[in-house]
Amino acid sequence: MKIVIISGGSKGLGLALCQQYLANGYQAFEFSRSATHPFSVQCDFAQPETALAQMTATFAELSRTSYDEIVIINNAALLGPIGPSARKAPTDLITHLNVNITSAILFLSQAISAFQAHTCPKIIANISSGAAIKNISGWSLYCASKAGLEHYIRTVAIEQNEQAQPFTAINIDPDLIDTDMQAGIRQASRADFPALDRFIQRKENGILRPPAQVAAAVIRIISSPIANGARYDITDFV
């Protein structure tokens, strides 16, 4: 039996990943606030302590089974609030950091703890962004959280080298996807996001890839020989 566990799998790229892994014979579970699918686990990453309890219980149950392969994909993320953080409500800043950093690290660390002793191939894939390595005006929070999580994954990769039954941990840049996140970007104000016109043009010019195409590329990366701690771009696999 093979298993894939995904955060933020209720829609968009996460849902496409769940659907394709299920079609490939994997058992799939996705953690999300809306939790609308038979394979969903209700878990609000904006509330880390509550989310932790659900993660811990679910991982403890799943870890009782032996697997032929374990794939953990961190996909849940917020982009907003868009605009300089000094102009945004502190509660919105906290929500962003809770989802993108605190709960993401809890999700990954609990998965590692639960499955560390399993002897099968084990992969952690973090869905990152070009924002992790670029400075984008209006996206200070998103750039910071994506960069921080990428560095977390690189360090986890080093730590896993010391384990008897290690995970392979990688970052994946999904490039441009036609999702609700992109729709939200196009609704931002130019005062908050100076590059707004460029993102509108990307949609109008058909540059955004459908989630299913990106999901297929992500799966090809994960299924290929991969280097622990490496960063992959889906444009090399579409």
| CB-neighbour burial class of residue 65 (10 A; exposed 0-12, middle 13-18, buried 19+) | exposed
Give the full edge-to-edge strand order of the sheet including 122-127.
Answer: 40-42, 27-32, 2-7, 69-74, 122-127, 168-173, 231-233
pLDDT in tens, 49-87: 999 999 999 999 999 999 999 999 999 999 989 999 999
3 state SS of 69: strand
Question: Within a domain: residue 188?
Answer: no
Question: Within a domain: residue 36?
Answer: yes
Question: Within a domain: residue 200?
Answer: no
- Read off the CATH number of the domain in which 169 is found: 3.40.50.720
CA distance 132 to 124: 18
**Mean pLDDT, rounded, for 168-183:** 90
Global pTM value: 0.94
Residue 195 has pLDDT above 80, yes or no: no
3 state SS of 175: coil
- pLDDT-derived band at 180 (thresholds 50, 70, 90) equals confident
Question: Within a domain: residue 202?
Answer: no
Strand (E) or helix (H) holding 127: strand 122-127
Question: Within a domain: residue 183?
Answer: no
Question: Within a domain: residue 68?
Answer: yes
Task: Give me the number of domains the chain comprises.
Answer: 1
Alpha carbon separation from 211 to 89, 114, 174, 201, 215 (Å, rounded): 31, 29, 10, 19, 6
pLDDT of residue 203: 84
pLDDT of residue 184: 81
Question: Within a domain: residue 192?
Answer: no
pLDDT in tens, 128-138: 999 999 999 99
Higher pLDDT, 228 or 183: 228
Task: Provide the domain limits for residue 55.
Answer: 2-177+212-233
Question: Within a domain: residue 154?
Answer: yes
pLDDT in tens, 100-114: 999 999 999 999 999
- pLDDT-derived band at 196 (thresholds 50, 70, 90) equals confident
